[in-house]
Structure 1
Amino acid sequence: MIRHIVMWGLKDPAQTVRFRELLESCRGLVPGMVEFDVGSRATPLPDGLEASCEVVLVSTFDSLAALQAYQDHPTHRAVGAQLGPMRSSRQVMDYEF
């Protein structure tokens, strides 16, 4: 299993809802996608919590091939092109478990 985590900072946090909608359009794109969870930080943050990103994607794939198929999928690529101008930062972590 491969866990694929991506976190984004947005240029304009008011775009969080649109950003999430675009990400959600990638749910179920390929066989082997086991989990696909999109979250956004609470606004305002509760006391004592901090956040450096506005949106996170936690997804799980049953193989590296499934993750690669997701990354190469035309819908994923089109969504990525729309998200790019909206983001100020992006961090990615993939790991096997």
Structure 2
Amino acid sequence: MTPRPDQPIRHIVMWSVAGTTEAEKTSAIDRVRTEFEALRGRIPGMTLLEIGVDVSRISYACDMVLVTEFETEAALAAYATHPDHLAARDRLEGVRIARHQVDYPVTRHG
């Protein structure tokens, strides 16, 4: 499904983070959260940035999720190459050990 050029798009990324102890994982989660929260208000076209940390502790769950929304698919594409985003990504090299992503058009109801 291709979004309309003017349609908002949601970008969801789930990560597992490095660490063999709870303290190491907590530290990694805090680093990721700090880096991405610092992008709030700095990325043109980003209308939402939310970070969630898993509390289920289920073996197959990711450790955390980033939910962002962008005004358009073009704004999401610009985010992918934005210098602040690239710098955050580089600083987190090795902290995030698995990554899953879904991007989809946002349909507002009501």
TM-score by length of structure 1 reads: 0.85
Q: Which residue of structure 1 lines up, in the alignment, with residue 62 of structure 2?
A: 53
CA distance in 2, matches of 1:17, 1:11: 12
Q: CA deviation at 1:40?
A: 1.0
Q: CA deviation at 1:2?
A: 0.3
Q: Which residue of structure 2 lines up, in the alignment, with residue 8 of structure 1?
A: 15
CA distance in 1, matches of 2:53, 2:41: 20
Structure 2: where are the runs of 5+ without partners? 1-7, 20-24
Q: Which residue of structure 1 lines up, in the alignment, with residue 5 of structure 2?
A: none
* The structure with more helix, counted as a fraction of residues: 1
| SS class of match (1:84) | coil
* The structure with more strand, counted as a fraction of residues: 1
Coordinate RMSD, CA, aligned: 1.5
Percent of pairs with identical residues = 38
Q: How does 1:51-90 map to 2 (within 5 A)?
A: 52-90=61-99
> Does the CA contact (< 8 Å) of 2:54 and 2:61 recur in 1?
no
TM-score by length of structure 2 reads: 0.76
CA distance in 2, matches of 1:29, 1:91: 24
Between the two structures, name the one with larger relative contact order (CA 8 Å, sep ≥ 6).
Answer: 1
Q: CA deviation at 1:29?
A: 2.1
Q: CA deviation at 1:68?
A: 1.3
Structure 1: where are the runs of 5+ without partners? none
1:17 lines up with 2:33 in the alignment: no
